[in-house]
Structure 1
């Protein structure tokens, strides 16, 4: 498949309910890129709106841990108009499947990028291992801003049909209750990701069995307890998380425990 005269689409990289990501060649610049298509835009107009918002959000962010956007547009394919987004092609695998040398340092990198995103008045709303790319060049990249919202827009958590915006296993209590997602909601989700990676249990710290909780050493344990607090106002900012994670040096930081999923 060709997209205009510029892109030659070659290999499917991934497929979701409403979209696909393909590897392609940018003929104009002679580079490999990833192209994300919305395949369900006709059946679900909201998907196209969400996709356009993702393109604008990504284009507004300038950070080494946010995927770079090169181009956007629409393509005609089999009588359908497919919105597409051209992004840098990342070499790596998501944190569902990747090993990292330091879970704590990886968490600090993610907290760094969240601090940048939050400073831009954007809430990601779907922090989870599947949306975190561990690259071969050492970068940790936060992906999939398809449901991110800015402060000037509605930040509702569920659709009128009751479908959640986000992944319930990582969502903060306020989101599950139908309240607006805030930067503190992203901090909670990151805390759950780190607890899961350190212990194999996808739970807030206060719900861990004592023997599991004791496997996370201080000061990381205290920080993760705050990050996964039930009340948003009790959670630290992403910038504070990054600082405290980097300041901590514990044996747990270099240990990788597979998820129990």
Structure 2
């Protein structure tokens, strides 16, 4: 198909060309319509003229395969595609604002950067769970809808765990956008969702400073420097960057992918809960690493073996968000049993993020007192008790957070938190049975019925005086 001969009003495989849009670097775009389709559509036509980069051809075939398999609100809806005789992809025309339009306003306030980052992280987690790594995440490939959610576009350089990786098969050199590629991508490794987390870290750095952490390198030799050289901390360019945001960004930009966030869901969690971010030396950093550290990385890289490919699912399975819903008024033996169950879960997923949650039940009508009989704030008192309960758990400080909610309906509060934070597994206790509980329905039963994830319910031992032996009822809800 000769893109130069296309004109408004022309029909291509049943799609009427309505208006030509701004071209991209590797494709032309037309707004199109089709009988029976009420939503606005866009046709993407790759530039396959003689002399064009062969990556354009391979990228078209890659995107055609991957986009057709993706679903959900964070990707354009796939409609149709043509073959190489008449190559095109028709998809939903996403209404919103490209993130690149905000670059001119950088540096942006920390709260806005966190909000945008959380939206993009949610979109990344969605495609990662569908076995796709984007591998070309940058502001021009992110659209922000009016409701604040993010949509990812342009999957020409992406990889799907269950499809052939044409990019890796046909190109010996690394591909991507120089300012955003992760260190492992430079080493031609295309199978880790944490590469997208690195690219999102570059984007957050850019939004909060107005500078790119690695500039705009064009040659592979320039790309390779990020294998041993860390960037300047964001606070060097913008002293108003809060420590929690610098901690998050620099963790995303760690050279060693094992030191980054284990999943986009965990990154989103921290961006939405800045008060719970555990600060390390990253937060106070004012300069790059010293020459000795940099040389040590360079020397280590020379002896490093090739990176071994792993499935995206394998990476995500090692890094779930686990929620412990703790009833602090329950008997001690039930609390102990929950602790035992949690240790078992955490032993199998060492990279898990643990959220310890307690619900402070309040009245639906009456105003609850702000202090208890001893003059203490009940909310803060519960938080102290929750931290005390969790102290023996084998979890690193940066992987555990504490949350106390006030709600007249504890089950709904637990389910809502799980849904809003991409929780993968809830561990909670169930008190003893009674006629009233059977009539009203226990909190644990309601959570099992409504939760969007696996729920493990731990019960008290048969004899409260004996060592508790937790029994679990596991209910997967999708």
Q: TM-score range by the shorter chain?
A: 0.7 to 0.9
Matched, 1:96 2:100: yes
CA distance in 2, matches of 1:210, 1:18: 36
* SS at structure 2 position matched to 1:10: strand
Where 1:8 maps in the other structure, the secondary structure is strand
Could you give the per-residue CA deviations for residues 179-198 of structure 1, whole angstroms, max 9, x where no partner exists? 44521111000011001101
CA distance in 2, matches of 1:249, 1:64: 29
Q: Distance in 1 between matches of 2:141 and 2:34?
A: 25
Equivalenced residues, count: 243
The residue that corresponds to 2:379 in the other structure is none
**Matched residue, 1:36:** 44
Choose between structure 1 and 2 for higher RCO, CA contacts under 8 A separated by at least 6 residues: 1
> What CA distance in whole angstroms lies between the structure 1 residues aligned with 2:140 and 2:232?
23
SS at match of 1:168: coil
Question: Quick check: 1:239 aligned with 2:268?
Answer: no
Q: Equivalent residue for 2:171?
A: 159
The structure number with the bigger radius of gyration is: 2
Closer/same/farther in 2, CA of residues 5 and 144 from structure 1, 3 Å limit: closer
Show CA shifts across 1:32-69 (max 9, x none).
21111123166566533422321221222222121111
Tell me which protein shows more strand as a share of its residues: 1
Secondary structure in 1 aligned to 2:72? coil
Deviation of 1:249 after TM superposition, in Å, equals 6.4
- Structure 1 residue 129: deviation in Å? 0.5
Distance 2:272 2:170 in 1: 35
- Partner of 2:65: helix, strand, or coil? helix
- 1:128 aligned partner: 138
1:86 lines up with 2:83 in the alignment: no
Give 1:238 shift.
0.9
8 Å CA contact retained: 1:108, 1:241? yes
For the Cα contact (< 8 Å) 2:123–2:150, is it kept in 1?
A: no
Alignment partner of 1:220 is 2:220: no
Alpha-carbon distance change, 209 to 232 in structure 1, aligned in 2, over 3 angstroms: closer
Range that drifts further, 63-72 or 50-59 = 50-59
SS at match of 1:102: helix
Cα RMSD, aligned residues only: 2.9
Question: Is the contact made by 2:63 and 2:155 (CA closer than 8 Å) also made in structure 1?
Answer: yes
CA distance in 1, matches of 2:133, 2:234: 31
Contact 2:19 2:30 in 1 (8 A): yes
The 5 Å alignment of 1:67-78 reads: 67-74=76-83
CA distance in 2, matches of 1:226, 1:46: 32
SS at match of 1:83: coil
Query: What secondary structure is seen at the aligned counterpart in 2 of 1:97?
Result: helix
Residue pair 2:205, 2:234 contacting (<8 A) in 1 also: no
Q: Which residue of 2 aligns with 1:257?
A: none
Extract unaligned runs of 5+ from structure 1. Answer: 76-80, 251-261
Contact 2:133 / 2:192 at 8 angstroms: preserved in 1? yes
Preserved contact between residue 74 and residue 150 of structure 2 (Cα < 8 Å): yes
Structure 2: distance between partners of 1:158 and 1:4: 30
SS at match of 1:82: coil
Aligned 1:132-151 pairs, distance under 5 A: 132-151=142-161
Deviation at 1:110, TM superposition (A): 0.9
Q: Aligned to 2:31, what secondary structure does the other structure show?
A: strand
CA contact (8 A) 1:38 1:48 kept: yes
Consecutive unaligned residues of structure 2, counting only runs of 5 or more, are 1-6, 215-229, 277-478
Q: Is contact 1:123–1:181 with CA below 8 Å preserved after alignment?
A: yes
